[in-house]
Structure 1
């Protein structure tokens, strides 16, 4: 692995961490900066319609601003570099407090990003969240 590839992988991992931190701090402007302007986001595994960065982030903001607490742990980041593009798979574990619930709800799965090098550094141009499980979810259909 070349020094440039090591730097690229580190910068991409930082991008994924910035994504998770932006969600938990509800910093929607910073969250938008993780993605290209024309990015496609797909959270259909948790019931949101896929679409453009701005449309999907508006839906997420409305939903997540109601949650008193979320904390995304992101790990096992795998980066498959191909020049100025890469495919990324990162596992997530997310404890959260849902409105009106005294106990925490938990979920886990994978983030699948397609990223590209831009003049502003690495950015995600496509994200698919693959939710694999929920625990203590008030909606039995999502448990």
Structure 2
């Protein structure tokens, strides 16, 4: 069983919609990316969330802490696991810029991670959706305190 070219194109678009939803702060757009009962596992298992409401709130409360993010999706591979299901791997680089930083941001105001998303997909009546996503980090560069401005020293 293989994915059709149309299925592959829709899943590629799904992955891009995820990145733009985060980077453009379109939190509600995540509802057209993840299934209602989706599960995510970020940060090595310390950030597990299930259900679209919890997933949307996770991204709103984490990515919303920084001034801007930029998610760059690199090599991606998807394959069929059944008539209406699939799986995939996608490499990502995610840049995070501290709140109130000048542009372009200096290195001291940035935090960048690289890693791989491992996804499971399902075709729903509304189109393909992510039903499970795990992020495995490979590298971290910069100041992770950028992600937690509420903990900054005065």
Q: TM-score range by the shorter chain?
A: 0.7 to 0.9
> What residue number does 1:94 align with?
94
Q: Distance in 2 between matches of 1:133 and 1:18?
A: 24
Instruction: Kindly name which structure, 1 or 2, has the bigger radius of gyration based on alpha carbons.
Output: 2
**Alignment-derived partner of residue 63 in structure 2:** 64
Q: Are the equivalent residues in 2 in contact too, given 1:46–1:131 (CA < 8 A)?
A: no
Aligned to 2:129: 123
Moved more, 52-61 or 24-33: 52-61
CA contact (8 A) 1:44 1:50 kept: no
User: Which residue does 1:28 correspond to in 2?
Assistant: 27
Aligned length: 138
Pick which of 73-82 and 12-21 moved more.
Answer: 73-82
**Structure 1 residue 99, shift from structure 2 partner:** 3.5
In structure 1, stretches of 5+ residues that fail to align are none
| Deviation per residue, 1:85-123 (Å, 9 max, x gap) | 000111101122124664222111011110011111101
Q: TM-score under structure 1 normalisation?
A: 0.85
- Does the 8 Å CA contact 1:41/1:53 hold for their aligned counterparts? no
Question: Partner of 1:84 in structure 2?
Answer: 84
Q: What pairs with 1:41-60 in structure 2 (closer than 5 Å)? A: 41-45=40-44, 47-60=46-59
Contact preservation (8 Å) 1:34, 1:124: yes
Distance 1:138 1:78 in 2: 29
Segments of structure 2 that go 5 or more residues without pairing to the other structure are 146-154
Moved over 6 A (4+): none
Q: Residue 85 of structure 2 contacts residue 122 of structure 2 at CA under 8 Å; is this kept in 1?
A: yes
- TM-score, structure 2 normalization: 0.80
| Candidates 136, 139, 142, aligned match of 2:142 | 136
Query: Could you tell me how far apart the structure 1 residues matched to 2:24 and 2:46 are?
Result: 22
Contact 1:35-1:53 at 8 Å conserved across structures:
yes
